[in-house]
Chain A
Amino acid sequence: MLEFLQQIVNGLSLGAIYALLALGYTMVYGIIMLINFAHGDIMMVGAYVGFFSVTMFGTNVLVALLVAMFACALLGVLIEKVAYKPLRHSSRIAALITAIGVSLFLEYIMIYIFTPNQRVFPAETFPLYNYHLAGLVISNKDLFVFGSAIILMIILQYIIKMTKTGKAMRAVSIDQEAAVLMGISVDRTISITFAIGSALAAAAGVLIGIYYNTINPLMGIIPGIKAFVAAVLGGIGIIPGAMVGGFLLGMLETLVSGYGSSLYRDAVAYGVLILILLIKPSGLFGKNTGDKV
């Protein structure tokens, strides 16, 4: 029982990271129906910005997190303007291929500039403490990762539910044409969505850097796909779904690698994906909408 709880605790921090990433996927999909394959790589860029902010400018982790989020928000908007906007009215598969192109571009430009080598987050930026609570071991890393993710999600909920921008985002995702008629600037709303999604990805990147200690230019691929699975699990396009899906997937993965074979860890994520798609394709939180003839 204790071991099970310990696995759950470990899974929570991984789940928080997946949830942050899944939010970006789901927001972008909700608004322009694009599977943004470059999302995981934006996370990687965020991790690098955080890394250099810590190592070159000696900032603390919290500042690094904010710097990375700001930088990636700009990057996200730039990518949307340059690569996705011209394709808004062409076929979705063309946009998908462009997203793959952007993903490859980010990966290989980072390899070119910073070499493919792994970089280690210096240990002194985040001294490790372990707290013992009723037999469970909880590190300050876990707390930091989990805490920052939760705070960011609360801020996101506030923006989406309470502000005018959030209202505009919801409106555009429900019906773009009607939103235009109501005087909402669709371009601006899409840009803001990309900015917020990318900032969350950057935060996830810095948190992954802290969590796993190492970063490299290809680190975004696997978490990117996993986070995408999480978004589908919760129901793609649905924001609370992405959070729940992220946490569920994180915990499930830790449990499988804790009790079973870590080699099958990746297969579990995809197995979950297939099951949910076959049983309830609209995801845990999704509503079934029939085809209109």
Chain B
Amino acid sequence: MQEMKKSWGKFIIEVLVLTGLFMLVQYAVSNELLNSYYQINLSSLCINIMLAVSLNLINGFTGQLSLGHAGFMAVGAYASVVMTNMMGQPFIVGIIAACLAAALAGFIIGVPTLRLKGDYLAIATLGFGEIIRVVLQNIDYVGGPAGIVGITQLTTWPWLFGATVLTVLVIVNLINSSYGRAIISVREDEIASELMGINITRYKVLAFVIGAMFAGLAGAMYAHYFYIIKPGTFNFMKSFDILVIVVLGGLGSTTGAIIAAALITVLTAALQKWAAIRMILYSLALILIMIYRPLGLMGNKELTTKMFGKIWGEKK
């Protein structure tokens, strides 16, 4: 019962913090306190959070190593742009189309590949991600290798914020539900969970489809913020970038994924000044972090308000 009371209090605090955050940035954006440089980085941050949290559902919580996340992002980006730019539909239709298309792609790819394990699954998803890219390259309707230029910028702060919060909330609630417990049990031991009556294929595909869907949502946000999409953007290096964020944050830690997304976005922006050695420093940081913190920043723990209390307590 105490838990219930606490969770209500927590809920109210969460709503207040989120509303506060939203209003603060909204105020800054509408009064032009944030220049375009900060706005671009803010959008990258939100998109990175969506991508990382959704990939974390597949890689971290379900334990299925997927290297094709950029492919789903591409499906979402293209589906939404076809809806808005080419068919003249409103943004919300584009977003729904993006989610549905990416979820469908996730289903089509997930059903056959999720029978595979470990490295084989990783390679198969990498292959599928690349196939999506090559296929997009060969469709003239969406501009072939040159992609689509001149997309109307529809992604505004409320959309971005809403999409990011939706992604995080859905995935956190999923993980805390009975579905989530089944998903985590599949990660911990497939054979044991099967013996407990869990249909492991069903839960793997479920997680995969939901992860793909939110990658598609992130793709729609991306496409309508940066004016231009082309297949080359969504190659396997992009998938690696997302994977790096997830592993850096700690597999199976949503707060870890968010922190790592923020860290990587800030790091990328800060290194922009030294463009020539940016990638060298980035790769060195990656190697060093993995050597000294192979479980990522958070491991599989979550950052909670309780932990803050502890840290402050210790400092006293």
Contacts and interface: CB of A to CB of B under 8 A. Distances in A.
Interface string A210-230: 000000000001000100110
B127 A274 contact: yes
B127 A273 contact: yes
B123 A277 contact: yes
B290 A97 contact: yes
Provide the main secondary structure of the chain A interface.
Answer: helix
Contacts of B130: 225, 266-267, 270
B134 A266 contact: yes
Best-surrounded residue of A93, A95, A105 (most CB of chain B within 10 A)? A93
Given A228-B123, A273-B127, A97 B243 contact: yes
Interface residues of A, number: 45
A281 B121 CA distance: 9
Contact of A94 (B112, B124, B237, B290): B290
Contact of A91 (B131, B191, B279, B295): B295
B122 interface: yes
Given A91-B295, A112-B277, A273-B127, A105 B287 contact: yes
Contacts of B138: 261, 263-264, 267
Contact of A98 (B279, B282, B287): B287
Contacts of A225: 126, 130, 236
A103 B283 CA distance: 8
Interface residues of B, number: 42
Interface string B247-281: 11001000000000000000000000000110110
Contact of A101 (B127, B236, B286): B286
Nearest to B296: A94
Contacts of A266: 130, 134
B113 A277 contact: yes
A270 B290 contact: no
Given A101-B287, A264-B134, A273-B127, 7 more contacts: A35-B119, A86-B291, A87-B294, A101-B283, A104-B283, A232-B123, A277-B123
Interface of B: 59, 65, 112-113, 116, 118-120, 122-124, 126-128, 130-131, 134-135, 137-138, 191, 236-237, 240, 243-244, 247-248, 251, 276-277, 279-280, 282-284, 286-287, 290-291, 294-295
11 contacts: A35-B123, A87-B294, A97-B290, A98-B291, A100-B240, A105-B284, A270-B131, A270-B134, A274-B124, A274-B127, A281-B116
